[in-house]
Amino acid sequence: MMNRTQPSEAAAATRRRPVALAAVSALAAVALLWGAAQHGVGAQPATGAAAPGASAAAGGPRLTGLPDFTVLVEDVGPSVVNIRTVERVQATPDDEADPDEAMRDFFRRFGIPLPPGAFPRGPQRPERGPQQRQRGVGSGFVYSADGFIMTNAHVVDGADEVVVTLPDKREFKARVVGADKRTDVALVKIEATGLKPVRIGDVERLKVGEWVMAIGSPFGLDNTVTAGIVSAKQRETGDFLPFIQTDVAINPGNSGGPLINMRGEVVGINSQIYSRSGGFMGISFAIPIDEAVRVAEQLKTSGKVTRGRIGVAIEPVDKEVAESLGLPKAGGALVRGVEDGSPAAKAGIEPGDIILRFDGKAIEKSADLPRIVGNTKPGTRATVEVWRRGATKTLTVSVGTFEDESAARAPAEEPKAAKAGPLGLTLRELTAAERRELKVSGGIRVDGVSGPAAAAGLRPGDVIVGVGNQNVASLRDFERAVADWPKGRPVSVLIRRGDWAQWVLVRP
């Protein structure tokens, strides 16, 4: 007699069939996706299937395939080179017998600081003649078929000899044509034939989330391929460069290698990593190829890079300062100081001005200004739009030639406690000698600070030259401006401190 709680084999098979069919269907779908991925970056929907966009419109995830990098490696790989640098050093006999020398050399090659007291040397022995020692390993790529190789400036910096190894194992001694430390771009030249130059991509078309690939020599391992996505663009980490941030694995030795998009075009030069250990931690930075090409062409022509300058010190404009000055939004570059006799001084730019546009280009953030000015040819007459006293003003500046600028430092003074007024300021008018020294026509000197003024960072010796959009030439001007200021709002005060100018928000 059959137990009713135990189903028959036929019934059990009937119930198992849908599960088995579902499993087969899932495997077929995976196979379809995999096959599509082998023929392109994105998988195409099968006939009769809903298009990926339809799924996204319905609120579901967009269905795409996995990228296939094999074609890119075959296409770009022959253009990527290994760069080995050599330095001549005074060797001692204990270099040959020292068991810790290999570890010291490892730390030197990959730029890792040597811990104090680690791997101590034995007693010094008589010095011998100079020897060659491998200094470091980097990467590069063929920029042009006539032998120009692009890499990082830090890869070849200080090297006595540069050796380029091609993917076909040919080796050539390279001549350093030029290197620009500010952008970390270098150009070297080899005398070789049969070179395949890379294709240069358009950084403007590069999108965050897009797949990218790197080829290089991490830790000296030639022709290593890694891949990831663009994590961010316009990442500010230097004076003249908005870096491309990626999660592509980059390690010592990858420096100078190309960052490649899915069209096989170079969009950047791998240059830096963020790391607390010396190794890759998921964040790497690449120099945008358009900036690198601009530098490389100058190096190719003259061996150096010429940049424009106007002679101002700047800082960002935050939301509170923008609101207090009536700016529609936070943006531009606040002029903290103007160098005497500089192009900016001759054009009439003043400390406290906010530069909104330069040569027709908007200054969205303060870091934009040095890059735009630097890319302007010296001698160019450019228009500068500034925000001054609640209105825009257009000036004309003749761009100078950039040289190493040394930033002036404001003298540090200890604030003195004093009681005075609702803002906590003890003030006096400037003497004629002080006005001549500061090159101002008016202003009032801070002799003491307390309360709100001290909390805002004002110091004795500061000179107040403006409140909001009003000039301050005397104590009466200051008292009137403060009295007219809306109650309860932070008072925006423009001060001079030595050669610097800055806005300070004092909260009564």
pLDDT 10s digits, 282-299: 888 999 999 999 999 999
**pLDDT over 60 (residue 415):** no
Residue 247 has what pLDDT?
A: 92
Residue 110 has what pLDDT?
A: 56
Strands (E), 265-411: 265-273, 284-288, 308-309, 312-316, 333-338, 354-358, 361-362, 381-388, 391-398, 400-401
Exposed, middle or buried, 349 (CB in 10 Å: 0-12/13-18/19+)? buried
Token pair listed for 12: 């059990």
Binning pLDDT at 50, 70 and 90, where does residue 204 land? very high
Residue 244 has what pLDDT?
A: 93
Residue 436 has what pLDDT?
A: 73
| Stretch among 110-124, 265-279, 463-477 having the lowest mean pLDDT | 110-124
CA distance 151 to 142: 9
Instruction: Quickly list H helices, 360-474.
Output: 368-374, 432-438, 451-456
* In contact, 393 and 354? CB cutoff 8 Å: no
SS3 425: strand
Binning pLDDT at 50, 70 and 90, where does residue 198 land? very high
Which domains does the chain possess? 76-110+128-189 (2.40.10.10), 199-302 (2.40.10.10), 308-401 (2.30.42.10), 425-506 (2.30.42.10)
Give the chain's radius of gyration (CA, Å). Answer: 32
Q: What is the mean pLDDT of residues 46-68?
A: 52
**pLDDT over 60 (residue 23):** no
Strands (E), 237-358: 242-246, 258-261, 265-273, 284-288, 308-309, 312-316, 333-338, 354-358
For residue 327, give the nearest of 406, 370, 391, 267 by alpha carbon.
391
| Stretch among 53-67, 276-290, 302-316, 422-436 having the lowest mean pLDDT | 53-67
Dihedral sign for Cα 29, 33, 39, 42, please. positive
CA distance 92 to 127: 5
Token pair listed for 402: 């950039």
Residue 253 annotated as lining a ligand binding site:
yes
* In contact, 309 and 402? CB cutoff 8 Å: yes
**pLDDT over 80 (residue 158):** yes
Residue 320 has what pLDDT?
A: 85
Q: What is the mean pLDDT of residues 207-221?
A: 92
**pLDDT over 50 (residue 119):** yes
Query: How many other C-beta atoms are found inside a 10 Å radius of the C-beta of residue 507?
Result: 13
Residue 461 annotated as lining a ligand binding site:
no
| Stretch among 10-14, 98-102, 308-312 having the lowest mean pLDDT | 10-14
Residue 284 annotated as lining a ligand binding site:
no
Binning pLDDT at 50, 70 and 90, where does residue 98 land? low
Catalytic amino acids? 154, 184, 255
* In contact, 229 and 213? CB cutoff 8 Å: no
Please give the C-alpha separations between residue 104 and each of 136, 160, 487, in angstroms, as whole numbers: 13, 20, 65
| Stretch among 3-17, 147-161, 310-324, 359-373 having the lowest mean pLDDT | 3-17
CA distance 300 to 177: 7
* In contact, 273 and 283? CB cutoff 8 Å: yes
* In contact, 129 and 89? CB cutoff 8 Å: no
- Which single residue is written with the structure tokens 């004092």? 506
**pLDDT over 60 (residue 99):** no
For residue 213, give the nearest of 178, 263, 179 by alpha carbon.
263
Residue 410 has what pLDDT?
A: 34
Which helix (H) or strand (E) element contains residue 154?
helix 153-156
Residue 255 annotated as lining a ligand binding site:
yes
pLDDT digits (tens, 9 = 90+) for 445-484: 888 888 888 888 888 888 888 888 888 888 888 888 888 7
* In contact, 87 and 172? CB cutoff 8 Å: no
Residue 184 annotated as lining a ligand binding site:
yes
Residue 339 has what pLDDT?
A: 87
Q: What is the mean pLDDT of residues 423-434?
A: 81
CA distance 445 to 413: 14
